[in-house]
Structure 1
Amino acid sequence: MGRWEPDARGRLEQAALALYGERGYEQTTVAEIAARAGLTERTFFRHFADKREVLFAGSGALRDLIVSTLASSPDSAAPIEAVATALQAAGAVLQERREYAQQRQSVIAANAELRERELIKLASWAAALSDTLRRRGVTEPAASLAAEAGIAVFRIAFERWINESTGNDLPHLIRDSLDELKAVTAGK
């Protein structure tokens, strides 16, 4: 591919993921990613702060989607239901990129630094959810409990989604995981 072909960002993501899978995250350099994508290192750094951010670049947009969906949920919705709906919206976006999500998760699982970064991302989502719930009038500790429980539900559903071959979609698995949580807490 030539340097001036479109979708430099997408090409860099694909090249990085392929190299991380082939060589490992630690052994892959930015120069190699850029070369594989047919681009320069300078172009890489126009799109990503470092090679780690290739794997986390979309997390801010997903967080914003979760927050806006939660903020626009009906006032009558229970906090955990509103959080689940917001997380299902993120799940619908991720659903379109299942293969990418599986490859990405494989790279993250193999590297402690990346696992830590993933946990930080999820913690920032939980903080954003609890802040939004508080702005909606939910008091503490209910706001934090609903947000943290929602993230736990999301994590379990996501793991099932990337590891199962049943064809269940991620939003459906999020709902199923929430139902399981409700059953556990109800003592059923």
Structure 2
Amino acid sequence: MSRWEPDAASRLMKAATELFDEQGYDATTVAEIAERAGLTKRTFFRHYADKREVLFNGSGQLERCWLEGIEAAPADAEPLAAVAAGFDPVAEMFAERHAFARVRSRIVQANPELQERELIKLHKLAGVVKGALLRRGVPEHAATLAAHVGLAVFSVAFGHWVEQNDPARLRALFDESLAQMRSVTSA
């Protein structure tokens, strides 16, 4: 494959996830990723700050999708209902990414550094969701709680989704996890 062919970022992501899955994250170098993708290290660093970002570069899109759903929620929606309105566009975003999400999850779970990075990205996402709720006029304490509950629901549902074989089931898992959360906290 020519190093001048289009879609270098996708090629690098594919090469990186294959190598991380085959030989482990720590054992994989940027040079190996670039070589497998048929590109140079310089090209790698034009697209990604470091090899971790190959696995986390979709976080901005996740934030935008979730915000889109919150902003589309009815003005009188309760805070958690507004947060849950973000599940629709998020599920759509992941509709075609099940195979990648499964491999990515396996890679992240095998590496404490990546687990830490995942927690940092989720904490940032909670702040973004909280900010959207504050803009809707939700009091700060309620916005913080709703954002973190929404992230917990997302994380649990997503974890179940990557473990099973039905890529179309993510949206239903969000609803089931939200219902379970409500059941657990109703007492």
Q: Same fold by TM-score, threshold 0.5 exceeded?
A: yes
CA positional deviation for 1:168: 5.3
Partner of 1:76: 76
Q: TM-score normalized by structure 1?
A: 0.95
Cα RMSD, aligned residues only: 1.2
User: Which letter does structure 1 place at the counterpart of 2:19?
Assistant: L
Q: Percent identity?
A: 49
Q: How many residues align?
A: 187
SS in 1 for 2:104: helix
Partner of 2:153: 153
CA positional deviation for 1:165: 3.0
Q: After superposition, where does 1:62-141 map in structure 2 within 5 Å?
A: 62-141=62-141
Greater RCO, 1 or 2 (C-alpha within 8 Å, sep 6+)? 1
- Whether the 8 Å contact between 1:158 and 1:170 is mirrored in structure 2 is yes
CA positional deviation for 1:167: 5.5
Q: Distance in 2 between matches of 1:110 and 1:69?
A: 32
Partner of 1:34: 34
Q: Distance in 2 between matches of 1:158 and 1:52?
A: 20
Q: TM-score normalized by structure 2?
A: 0.95
In structure 1, list runs of 5 or more residues that go unmatched.
none
- Whether the 8 Å contact between 1:161 and 1:168 is mirrored in structure 2 is no
Q: Distance in 1 between matches of 2:168 and 2:7?
A: 30
- Whether the 8 Å contact between 2:130 and 2:146 is mirrored in structure 1 is yes
Change (3 A) 1:36 1:127: same
In structure 2, list runs of 5 or more residues that go unmatched.
none
User: Which letter does structure 2 place at the counterpart of 1:117?
Assistant: R
Q: Distance in 2 between matches of 1:11 and 1:100?
A: 13
Q: Distance in 2 between matches of 1:116 and 1:88?
A: 27
